[in-house]
Amino acid sequence: MTTMLTAAQVLRGKELLDRVRSGCNAVLLGQQELVDLSVIALCARGHLLLEGLPGLGKTELVKALGRLLGLSFRRVQFTPDLLPGDITGGPILQERGGERQLVFSPGPLFANVVLADEINRASPKTQSALLEAMQERNVTVLGQTHALPLPFFVLATQNPIELEGTYPLPEAQLDRFLFKVEVPGVSADVMTQILTSRRRGQAPALEVALTAKEIDELFAFVDGIFLPQAVANYIARLVAATHPQRSDSLAAVQKNVRFGASPRAAIAIGEAARAAALLAGRPNVDFADVQRVALPALAHRVVLQHAAVVNGITSAKLVQDLLETVPAVAKALPGAVQ
């Protein structure tokens, strides 16, 4: 039987999370929900894809997270001429003991936090080099497997405009991201605050918010959040509802969806909901936690029909419809014992 966290442990976990939140909010003004989702993704030990127009602070947020967590950080600017070996590293010829040997030289992937800036500008071959790293936390070069440092996060950004010369991420790689989050613009009030407090847009300097021991402590608290059977069933039914071949799927899903979300989506929602519960100061996952994280965890995993895309239908809108339609508590079958 799973032991739930004590009230003191929940309070301690929330305090650790709030340190990271406050640091991110000091860097990125007026983006509370974006900051919360980013912190939830990291606490769930998942990768994060940020999509938004230039100048909205995507890169600054990622750099702030790396600084606040006190982890090793590397930034890779993805360009069409970037090769797989440029990010994984590769063998170089060195002289040792009077002999020349091929020695593996680690690339920028060998860091705790890797910023993949404008990831959709690199070729599919280079993008695919990230797949093993994101899933297995290691890379294989010339038949040799090299473990990456833990924890390991890929925080990627992509630009929805200037599509000339870009390569859309394949579904298999999108599936490795715990969240895909759309970065919204800011209000006039927030822009006024930026203009009056940020010369040249420069963010304030940050101190490390968590030690390595506290990060491990935080992960342990997230793992200790209890996921009730009823909530797990709700997650499963949400993910199942994205599949068009089911007879009980929404008409909009049957008409517009080509492929529904994978089981990895259900796992992502479950882990993210645990982190969301801790952020809310609860020892167990609630239906509200699932509803908070389902959209960024599900939308990028639902593949639409081409006609639906042409007609302007989005997977985010379909997922939102499911959240409003799928009941939190499963309906009992006729004649079933209550």
Q: Where are the domains of the chain?
A: 1-224, 226-330
Per DSSP, 1 falls in state: -
Q: How confident is the model at residue 286 (pLDDT cuts 50, 70, 90)?
A: very high
* pLDDT score, position 239: 94
How far, in Å, CA of 147 to CA of 285, rounded?
32
Beta bridge partners of 76: 116
CATH 1.10.8.80 fits 226-330, yes or no: yes
pTM (whole model) above 0.85: yes
Instruction: Specify the DSSP element, H or E, that contains 181.
Output: strand 177-182
| Amino acid 162: pLDDT | 56
Number of residues written out for the chain: 338
Cα separation, 221 vs 239, in Å, equals 26
- What are the tokens at 11? 């309070």
Would the pLDDT of 65 be above 50?
Answer: yes
Lookup: tokens for 177: 């991201």
pLDDT value at residue 291: 95
DSSP element (H, E) containing 14 = helix 7-27
The answer, yes or no, to whether residue 1 has pLDDT greater than 50, is: no
For residue 190, give every residue at least 6 positions away whose Cβ sits within 8 Å of its Cβ, in sequence order, or none.
29, 30
- Which pLDDT value is given to residue 299? 92
Rounded (10°) CA dihedral 324, 327, 328, 332 = 180
Assigned CATH class of 1-224: alpha beta
| DSSP string for 115-177 | EEETGGGS-HHHHHHHHHHHHHSEEEETTEEEEPPSS-EEEEEE-SS--TT--PPPHHHHTTE
Q: Which of 186-195, 241-250, 282-291, 301-310 has the highest mean pLDDT?
A: 282-291
| Pairing between β-strand 73-77 and β-strand 113-117 as defined by DSSP bridges | parallel
Are 293 and 37 in contact, with CB atoms under 8 Å apart? yes
Percentage of the chain modeled with pLDDT above 70: 95
Residue 90 has pLDDT above 90, yes or no: no
Instruction: Fill in the amino acid letter for 218.
Output: L
Task: Annotate 60-95 with DSSP letters as a single string.
Answer: HHHHHHHHHTT--EEEEE--TT--HHHHHEEEEEEE
pLDDT of residue 4: 80
Task: Tell which phi-psi region holds residue 276, choosing left (phi > 0), alpha (psi between -120 and 50) or beta.
Answer: alpha
